[in-house]
Amino acid sequence: MAEDNSKRTDVNELGEFGLIDHLTESVRIHHDNTIKGIGDDAAVLDNGADYRLISTDCLVEGIHFDLAYTPLKHLGYKAIAVNLSDIYAMNGFPEQVTVSIAISNRFSVEALEELYKGIRTACNNYKVDLIGGDTTSSPRGLFISVTAIGRVDKDKITYRSTAKKGDLLCVSGNLGAAYLGLQILEREKQIFQSIKGGLQPDLEDQQYLISRQLKPEARFDMIELFHKAELVPTAMIDISDGLASEIFHLCKQSNVGVILEESGVPIHPDAEKKSIDFGIDPITSALSGGEDYELLFTIDVKDIDKVKYLPDIYIAGEIVPKEDGIKLHTKGGNIHDIKAQGWVHF
C-alpha cells in the first residue's frame, strides 16, 4: 500500500480546501468548452447558446449527518437541496441531478424508500430531473454523492472571483440557525443516551432551528427575484461552511478585502436567543456555524435600488481593497480581523 511510504503528511495539515488545491493544481484542460473547472461553486461548460453548470458533493454518515436524529426522508431532501444551492450560487437554475448511494446491508428496502421519498420530493419541489441512480453496497455506513446539472445565460453567470472595490456585500435569509439546530440535536442525543429507556425530548419551541438543520432549502427564490429585477450580482457564493469561510473564499478569489458590519448580519431571533443560551456570541454562530445554504453576494452600488425593495436581502458590508484586509465592524464600534474558521470536516 502507498500508505507505507516513508513520508506521511496528515490531511489535517492542509485542510479541505488546501488539499483540493494541492491535489488538482497540475490538472490540464483539453476541451475548449470547459470554461471553468475546479474553484467555484460549480464548473462551467459552454453549451453554445448558454452555459451548462456542473456541481458535485457528497454526504457521509458520521461526518455530515447522524442517523440517530436525521430522518432518512429529510436526509434525501437535504442531499439534493445542498447540491442545487451550488447551481443557484452561479445565478443559474438546476435541471438535472444524478445520485450515487452506497449502503450497508443494515438498511432495508423500506429505509431506502424513505431516503428516495425525500430525494423525489426535493426533485419535484425544485423541478429537477433525477437522471442517474447508481446504488451499490458499502461494508459500513451510508454515502450519498449527488451531481447537479444546471443552466445559466452567458450574461447572467456569477462567479466568486469578480467582486470589486466599492461593491456592497449582501446576504439572503439569516445565518447561524442550522448550526444551533445541530447543537440542540447533539445535546438531546447525549441526554437521551444517558437516560436508559429514554425520555422523548420536548423540542417544540426549537422547531425553527431544528428544521434549518434537518431540512434546509436552497434559495431558488432569490435567483428568480434577481432575474425579475434584472439584477446580476458582481460575485456570489453559497454559505455552506459559515459566513467567515465564504467571505474568505470570495475575497481571496476576487483579490479584495471586506468590511463586514455586525449590525448588518441577519440572525433570526430564535438563533440569537439560543446562541446566548449556549454561551456563544450570536455573531460567532453566524460567522463560524455552517449549513445555512443562504447566498452571499456582492452588487455594484448603482444597483442598490434594485436590492432595496427585494424581501429577505440584507446589506452587510462593503468590498474594500485587498490591503485593507477582511474585517468585522462590531456593534460596539470596534474593528476586528475575521478568521477563516469555517466548518472544517477534517
Nearest Cα to 108, choosing from 118, 116, 100? 116
Contact with a second copy (CB under 8 A) among 147, 253, 284, 330: 147
- For residue 63 the three cell numbers come to 461526518
What whole-number distance in Å separates Cα of residue 119 and Cα of residue 97? 10
Contact with a second copy (CB under 8 A) among 79, 103, 168, 259: 103
- Residue 167 beta carbon to a second copy: minimum distance, rounded to whole angstroms: 27
Per CB under 8 A, does 276 bind a second copy? Answer: no
7's CB contacts (< 8 A; 6+ apart) are none
Kindly write down the DSSP assignment for every residue of 233-251, as one continuous string.
-SEEEEESS-HHHHHHHHH
Contact with a second copy (CB under 8 A) among 51, 78, 87, 129: 129
**Interacting residues with a second copy between 62 and 91 (CB under 8 A):** 62-64, 67-68, 71-73
**Interacting residues with a second copy between 1 and 30 (CB under 8 A):** 1-3, 5, 7-14, 16, 19-20, 22-24, 26-30
Q: Rounded to the nearest 5°, which phi and psi values hold at 116?
A: -70, -30
Would you say 19 or 280 has its CB closer to a second copy? 19
Per CB under 8 A, does 98 bind a second copy? Answer: yes
∠ Cα 5 20 149 (to 5°) = 135
**Interacting residues with a second copy between 199 and 228 (CB under 8 A):** none
Per CB under 8 A, does 111 bind a second copy? Answer: yes
Stretches 52-60, 204-212, 226-234, 307-315: which one binds a second copy (CB under 8 A)?
Answer: 52-60
Would you say 22 or 187 has its CB closer to a second copy? 22
- Residue 334 beta carbon to a second copy: minimum distance, rounded to whole angstroms: 36
- Residue 173 beta carbon to a second copy: minimum distance, rounded to whole angstroms: 24
Would you say 130 or 310 has its CB closer to a second copy? 130
Would you say 51 or 297 has its CB closer to a second copy? 51
Nearest Cα to 262, choosing from 242, 240, 286? 286
- Residue 317 beta carbon to a second copy: minimum distance, rounded to whole angstroms: 28
Stretches 46-54, 162-170, 175-183, 266-274: which one binds a second copy (CB under 8 A)?
Answer: 46-54
- Residue 253 beta carbon to a second copy: minimum distance, rounded to whole angstroms: 16
Q: How far is CA 274 from CA 144, 209, 282, in A?
A: 31, 9, 9
What whole-number distance in Å separates Cα of residue 226 and Cα of residue 306? 9
Locate cell 507505507: which residue? 4
Q: Which residue pairs from 305-311 have beta carbons closer than 8 angstroms and sit at least 24 positions apart in sequence?
A: 306/229, 306/230, 306/231, 307/168, 307/170, 307/229, 307/231, 310/225, 310/229, 311/225
- For residue 246 the three cell numbers come to 465564504
Stretches 115-123, 165-173, 295-303, 327-335: which one binds a second copy (CB under 8 A)?
Answer: 115-123
Would you say 123 or 231 has its CB closer to a second copy? 123
Q: How many residues bind a second copy (CB under 8 A)?
A: 94
